[in-house]
Structure 1
Amino acid sequence: MSISGIKTITVIFGFIMLTNIIKAQNTSAKPQWIRPDNEKSPPIWGIHNGIVVGLWPASIEKGGPGYEGGPRGLLRIGYEYGGTVYLINYIAVEPVVNGDMEFSEVTESRVDGKWGKLFWAADSTDNEGFSPYASTRGRITHPDSKHPEVEELSLYVFMEKFLDGAHPYLKLSIRSDNSGELCLQIFNHDGSAKIERCALTATMGNYSRLRLLYLKDKVVDSRQLFAGYNDIEFAEKEPYPAKEMIRNSKGDYVVYAESNETFNELASWPQQQKYLSAWGWHYRPFYKLTQYWRVDSADYDPSLLVRVNGRAKYWGGDSADKSKYMDVPGGPAFENFELRENYHAGQKFYFGLSMKAAKDLIAN
């Protein structure tokens, strides 16, 4: 073979290798969504190395605690990393009508009288009622024309009408360029009672032992805020107005919460029998996560507040028997963590999870 022939083959081979490398890079860059295989699959959606959301009766954590995914009337919030999804928190829906709040997870269903509203999913506002299955894989769109590589997974979550007449529903979305964040947009059906406020509250801060709340000029420590409290009920203090919230580089309002413990401390678990029998409260991920709420500056309403409450003991099934409750190791932690704002149809709240420490997120 001539030298020119060898050069030609070398060029062709090099071109093929370069093409394969580019293809591999493009493939690896493509978002890896977590979606139901079909309409009869478990209702779980999310993104690899990012946030995951599921609905009852599916458990988003293999071998996780709770029967058939735990309580009803909640969004299950998890995080996927390294091929494994761990449950991190729940988000409840709490509409206020005529000054009274109703709780999606602890008020009776109109359907069967049991605790917890029925939630179900669809890919449009035309929904056919409750199904224990996914019903939709979620829609993939490209929300940013300047960055066509960015994808967004979205779906609607419907729920039965509340006893007070409120009838909200949600649109959930996750963007591939911000994989740790879930957008929750609130709407209401025609015929709903007038909703004054519709809180979306992260209900299980004790699981991650969230004790540090980051505001603009201070860090609130739950152990100091609830010092001396050791009862089985919630401990409540005044909420924090929007002017005390952190503003990020875009002007958005943000509040962060994280554990004060090192990972080794957080992953440890008391060896008394009572704790060993309640392993569902044992922190199972092999990493720490900061949790946060965010509101776009463009959607800001002056009524915006940060609200937290605390518990010194893990929830004991609403029993009045104090012997059924266990102390939270390390002292009181924040349990409910939320933003509150006067309701308007289409309002958006963002809930996020990040492996970065709060101070690093604030610095960015």
Structure 2
Amino acid sequence: MLFVNKPYKQHKLLFFCCAIVLSLLLNTAIAQTKWIRPETSADKQMWGIHDGIVFSLWPTGVETGDHGTGGPRGLLRIGYEHKGKIYLINYIAIEPIVDGKIEFSEISPSNNDGKWGKLIWASDSESDDAYNPANISHGLISHPDTNHPQIEQLTLFLFMEQYLDKASPFLKISIRSDKPEEICFEINNKANSAIMDRCALTATMGNYSRLRLLHLNNEVVDSRKLYSGFEGIDFIEKDAYPVTRMLKLKDGSPIALATQNESMTQLSAWPSDSAYYAKRGWRYRPDFKLTQYWRKDGKAYDPSLQVRVNGRARYWALASRDAKKYVAVPGGAAFENFELREKYYPGQKFIYGLSLKSVDEILKQ
């Protein structure tokens, strides 16, 4: 009997070992395919997670099919992958404030060629901050939660040219596998930086999604009512909202959320005349809607924290003063810039979200 059972036991042990190895290989493959990131110099400068948030740097376009045609420099392209396709949703600008004056990353001239827009580049190291367009940042994979080792985090650093006001901020960016609809920005400054009052990170393209509803703790602010009667070609702005007006998550984290007021049919429709045909890039392309939000992580934040929005009634036309180059946003004025403001301190974090969930579903998390 022992002689008969011995091969059986050996085969069973071999099968068990093979199953473990196969499981490990499968888990490794899943981990490798979970993330979107460049592996070689020929790959797009794009980082993110499947079925979640994705971002890219100039000149790489984030949207599927966009191979990079230049576009605005000095901005992070923020996209969302849904059913295997990536859609551009917004841009994020980096705007340091020194001695009360703001400088815009997409307008401030490059120190390299004098053209609009600061050059921004990625690195896997906080110390490797020299501009090198040939450098490839893969992003670092870590396990941030020891109680849940299956959770992964993709982290990289973004550096930019020094601003005219001598501000030198840089960003540490992270995306967690258990929170694929969020991207965390940690702001720091290089040693040679001027002292910053604030360093604003602002989502600059709310008109593309036609964001019109700002959700606060005691009201929903409607851009059409807030900017009633405004039809100009410039931005319009009212007072910011203090942190006391912000909604809170279950853990006390302040959060501000912006949504659309239109149905998908209304949102995807587009006027047929020639002026709008020339502006068709503003037509909303996804076949789904997203809640956009900014939040702080936890209860620790400076009392200066506020929500700031401004609006536009007409689509941006490269700062031209010719009103004929502008077309009205269908449905009325919408929020264009959307951000949290807070007194600057090294290591401060802002979390930006793009979610398929409703406001109520997000607040219940």
Q: Is the 8 A contact 1:39 1:136 kept in 2?
A: no
Distance change (3 Å), C-alpha of 1:67 and 1:17: same
Cα pair 1:96 1:195 within 8 Å, conserved: yes
Aligned equivalent of 2:335: 334
Q: Secondary structure at the match of 1:170?
A: strand
**SS of 1:67 mapped into structure 2:** coil
**Which residue does 2:81 correspond to in 1?**
80
Q: Is the 8 A contact 1:43 1:134 kept in 2?
A: no
Output the CA distance in 1 between the equivalents of 2:22 and 2:229.
61
Q: The residue matched to 1:302 in structure 2 has which SS?
A: coil
The 1:227/1:66 distance shift into structure 2, 3 A limit, reads farther
Provide the secondary structure at the position in 2 that maps to 1:235. Answer: coil
**Alpha-carbon separation, structure 2, partners of 1:170 and 1:311:** 28
Change over 3 Å in CA distance of 1:16–1:75 after alignment to 2: same
Q: Residue 136 of structure 2: SS of its match in structure 1?
A: coil
Aligned counterpart, 1:228: 229
Residue 53 of structure 2 corresponds to residue 51 of structure 1: yes
What is the one-letter code of the residue matched to 2:59? P
In 2, distance between residues paired with 1:325 and 1:312? Answer: 10
> What's the CA shift for 1:191?
1.5
Alignment partners' CA distance in 2, 1:217 and 1:20: 55
Name the counterpart of 1:114: 115
Unmatched segments (≥5 aa) in structure 2 = none
Residues 134 and 45 of structure 1: CA distance in aligned 2, closer, same or farther (over 3 Å)? farther
Query: Structure 1 vs Structure 2: percent identity of aligned residues?
Result: 51
Partners in 2 of 1:340 and 1:24 — Cα distance? 45
Distance 1:129 1:22, change over 3 A: closer
Deviations 1:254-273 (A, max 9, x none): 01001111112111111111
Q: Which amino acid aligns with 1:352?
A: G
Aligned to 2:38: 36
Structure 1 residues 294-303 or 248-257, which shifts more?
A: 294-303
- Please report how far the alpha carbon of residue 328 of structure 1 lies from its aligned counterpart in structure 2 after TM superposition: 0.3
Aligned-pair CA distance for 1:245: 0.4
CA shift in 2, pair 1:93/1:224, >3 Å: same
Offset of residue 25 of structure 1: 8.1
Q: Call closer, same or farther: CA 1:15–1:123 in 2, change over 3 Å.
A: closer
- In the superposition, relative to structure 1, how do residues 292 and 321 fare at CA in structure 2: closer, same or farther (>3 Å)? same
CA apart distance, 1:18 = 8.5
Say if 1:190 and 1:15 are closer, same or farther in 2 by CA, change over 3 A. closer
Residue type of the alignment partner of 1:45? W
Give the direction of change, closer, same or farther, for the CA distance of 1:94–1:244 in structure 2 (3 Å limit).
Answer: same
Secondary structure of the 2:207 match is coil
Give the 3-state SS of the residue equivalent to 1:206 in structure 2: helix
Give the Cα separation in 2 of the matches to 1:95 and 1:19.
Answer: 52
Distance 2:104 2:319 in 1: 14
SS of residue matched to 1:121: strand
- Partner in structure 1 of residue 202 of structure 2: 201
1:28 and 1:124, CA in 2 relative to 1: closer, same or farther beyond 3 A? Answer: closer
Structure 2: distance between partners of 1:33 and 1:61: 16
Bigger mean CA offset, 132-141 vs 187-196: 132-141
Q: Which runs of 5+ in 1 are unaligned?
A: none
C-alpha deviation, 1:298, in angstroms: 3.9
Asked if structure 2 preserves the Cα contact closer than 8 Å seen for 1:77 and 1:87, the reply is: yes
Cα deviations across residues 124-172 of structure 1 (Å, max 9, x unaligned)? 1222533445621000001111100000000000000000010100000
Deviation at 1:27, TM superposition (A): 6.7
TM-score scaled by length of structure 2: 0.91
Q: 1:299 to 1:124 in 2, by over 3 A?
A: farther
1:3-28 superposed Cα distances (whole Å, 9 cap, x missing partner): x99xx89x97x989987996798578
Inter-partner Cα distance in structure 2 for 1:267 and 1:17? 51
Aligned length: 357
Q: Following TM superposition, by how much is the alpha carbon of 1:40 offset from its aligned partner in structure 2, in angstroms?
A: 4.9
> Following TM superposition, by how much is the alpha carbon of 1:67 offset from its aligned partner in structure 2, in angstroms?
2.6
2:274 matched residue in structure 1: 273
SS at 1:207's partner residue?
helix
Q: Secondary structure at the match of 2:180?
A: coil
Name which of structure 1's ranges 59-68 and 277-286 shifts more when overlaid on structure 2.
59-68
Superposed CA RMSD = 2.5
2:250/2:363 contact within 8 Å kept: no
Q: Hey, what does 2:166 align to over in structure 1?
A: 165
- Counting only pairs closer than 5 Å after superposition, residues 236-251 of structure 1 correspond to structure 2 as 236-251=237-252
Which residue identity is paired with 2:58?
Answer: W
Contact 1:255/1:293 (<8 A) preserved: yes
Deviations 1:262-300 (A, max 9, x none): 112111111111212222101111211110001023431
Q: What is residue 175 of structure 2 aligned with on the other side?
A: 174
Structure-2 separation of matches of 1:191 and 1:17: 55
Checking the alignment, whether the CA contact within 8 Å between 1:38 and 1:134 is kept in structure 2 is no
Conserved in 2, the CA contact under 8 Å of 1:199 and 1:339?
yes
Contact 2:258 2:293 in 1 (8 A): yes
Q: Tell me the CA shift for residue 356 of structure 1.
A: 1.1
In 2: Cα distance, 1:109 partner to 1:234 partner? 24
Secondary structure of the residue aligned to 1:344 is coil
Secondary structure class of the residue paired with 2:208: coil
**Contact 2:60–2:68 (CA under 8 A) maintained in structure 1:** no
Q: Cα distance, 1:357 vs. partner?
A: 1.8
TM-aligned CA deviation for residue 210 of structure 1: 0.3
> Is the 1:44–1:134 Cα contact (8 Å) retained in structure 2?
no
Q: Output the amino acid matched with 1:144.
A: D
Residue aligned with 2:281, SS: helix
